[in-house]
Amino acid sequence: MNGPIIIDAMGGDYAPLEILKGAYDAYIKYNAEIILTGIKDKIEKAAADANINLNVFKIRECSQEVLMNDHPGDVIKYKKDSSIYIGTKLITENLNSAFVSAGNTGAVMASSLFNVKRLEGVIRPAIAIIIPLTDKPVVLIDAGANADCKPQYLKQFALMGKIYSENILNIKNPETGLINVGSEEGKGNELSIEAFNLLKDFKEINFIGNIEGRDLFNGVADVVVCDGFTGNILLKSMEGLAGLFFKEMRQILTANFTSKICAAILKKPFKNLKKKFDYEEYGGTFLVGVNGIVIIAHGSSKAKAITNAVRVAIEGQKNNIIEKIAKQINNL
């Protein structure tokens, strides 16, 4: 039986109004049991503005907020009555529950490690994000949780990425590649070379070797493994490139009368393409490796993204992804 979805009502650029809208839509769409964490006065005001009946939620009142520039360690020390800290703590008190936040990523990770703990055997949790680059989506892991990595971390990321791909994207025996500056064995820095040597003999995954950055866009691999520093730069670069592409196309297709006619013809295909690259469609990403379902949503999430983040959390619950990761890690 699925437990409640705990939502950080104070996290993100548009909190709490858009968070509440998304939570309410998720309640209607998925009949989800939802617990909101946050400052009650602000939640009530936002609910009144959006004409939302708060009686459909449970509210765990908090007195503190975590700002985007707050240091994760300071949250653990000085903001234990914040929506993020309390939200992660509630996971341990509610069986098969999940936590969703669009707030400070570092604070979510630190609070999760402090309250939810790592799965036994996991060295470092990682952020697994779905990249909709080809006809089949790609899992990028790590997308920003660990800037400094050791080869053993990347080995575990590969296994957790495989489990994520199999259970969330339903890709059987996903092909796994290691991001590097060249495809040949022996390429790259010390981390890449040592990680390659670990992965090539790792029978638990379908390792296809090194892949270059351009290969990521060709769907060469189903799971792409890298350190969090590289992964986050890749992710942000892709977001910026997608924004630039659609901006340029808009200018081209509205430049003159002829191009406007073309734009009218191509309106639906371009709308579908834009939807494919819209982070709100994917909702949020798993922090894999902790002993509970933690979903990190984009800081700019509006209602649609929060609703879809709840959907992702429910998929994790239904697929028992925590138990599956724990079992395979322990089997090593």
Alpha-carbon distances of 160 from 38, 121, 301, rounded to whole Å: 31, 12, 26
Cβ proximity of 168 and 138 under 8 Å: no
Compute the distance between CA of residue 49 and CA of residue 56 in angstroms, rounded to an integer: 16
User: Domains of the chain (ranges plus CATH)?
Assistant: 1-122+289-332 (3.40.718.10), 129-280 (3.40.718.10)
At 269 the pLDDT is: 75
At 172 the pLDDT is: 92
Backbone angles phi, psi at 127, to 5 degrees: -95, 120
- H helix runs in 254-298, sequence order: 257-276, 279-282
pTM of the complete model: 0.87
pLDDT tens-digit readout, 147-191: 899 999 999 999 999 999 998 888 999 999 999 998 888 888 999
CA-nearest of 87, 18, 24 to 57 is: 24
CB atoms within 10 A of CB 205: 19
Q: Is the dihedral of CA 289, 295, 300, 305 positive or negative?
A: positive
- Residues whose CB is less than 8 angstroms from the CB of residue 321 and which lie 6 or more positions away in sequence, other chains included: 163, 164, 167, 168, 286, 288, 293
At 45 the pLDDT is: 95
Structure tokens at 243: 């924004």
Structure tokens at 41: 């006065």
Compute the distance between CA of residue 108 and CA of residue 301 in angstroms, rounded to an integer: 15
For the residues of 195-209, what is the DSSP string, one character each?
HHHHHHT-TTSEEEE
Cβ proximity of 223 and 141 under 8 Å: yes
Cα-only R_g, the chain: 20
At 90 the pLDDT is: 96
For 289, which DSSP code?
Answer: T
Compute the distance between CA of residue 175 and CA of residue 199 in angstroms, rounded to an integer: 12
As beta bridge partners, residue 206 has 175
Alpha-carbon distances of 147 from 141, 164, 231, 325, rounded to whole Å: 12, 21, 9, 22
Residues in the chain predicted with pLDDT less than 70, given as ranges, are 1, 133-134, 273-282, 332
Compute the distance between CA of residue 152 and CA of residue 139 in angstroms, rounded to an integer: 19
At 263 the pLDDT is: 76
